[in-house]
Structure 1
């Protein structure tokens, strides 16, 4: 990978990682409800789970979905259903009592990693990284390199949303305010699904 392509890819990875989407909406809510430290497994699960997804796409999983569109349709429905479930959990997260952390638990490492496989935005990012920025020469080596670089850029990028959430905690101490925030985040999470699904359909068509 030449320096020009590397710089372009890092910019792509940063912009796609830091812009709003299901992962970042959930991390913002997690930062508010649980703080940065308890949200670290969630952040790492996103980055490492996405790295594995990029490698899988590079090894041919994307082509498999092109050959069998019904598989991808099923994945989209599963992703939408799981995202609705996560939105429901966020909406129902309790407000802290006496300065303690919110009731419930943040997403675990494995839960966050598994979510990448049903996250429409993650598929758009992975397919874009492989089709646009991965040189054909020494393709498999470059796939691993692209996946690792994406994870390195992704983790601090999504972490900004967790930090932003933790900074909002002091203004959201009142149970009613926290409840309204969580419901708002849940609605934004659901709303983020529509344009992403449209982008995915266009990418795979």
Structure 2
């Protein structure tokens, strides 16, 4: 599969969000960690065995033969991109390719999440804090979908905030609801035109 912008989808675009497995390029998403996988015996104390994580693992093989590993429970995820080796032929020792200072926190956070998941068999909720802007982004993209489908601003407001709220507030003294819809559309337009890259870090 070819790269589509900064990401590649491992399944159909109509897949529900909770089931979607989206792979980001390491040069777009600073949280993706480049690794080398070197074979070791299963008794090696430092061995990484993908079979321990099969409940969350999706491996994508690129056209050049390299692999990407996505670990996801639907709500949380982390990703490794292999610069060399394979995860599919038994235990390996992972060698992490880290450099620089500007985005190192995102990569080390990915590694902390990986360590806890591997040791405890669950995603560490404390290392996946809620994104406070997520609801606004979701509303913005819903507004954009409505606009693309030909909906008016009022119809978008009804879809987002309900008929009762729109009936009571759309033509009131305050223009807050109209302004909110316009702001959401502006946010969504910026995201669609490439601003989504800023969300990746």
TM-score bracket for this pair, using the shorter chain length: under 0.3
TM-score (norm 1): 0.27
Flag the structure with larger Rg.
Answer: 2
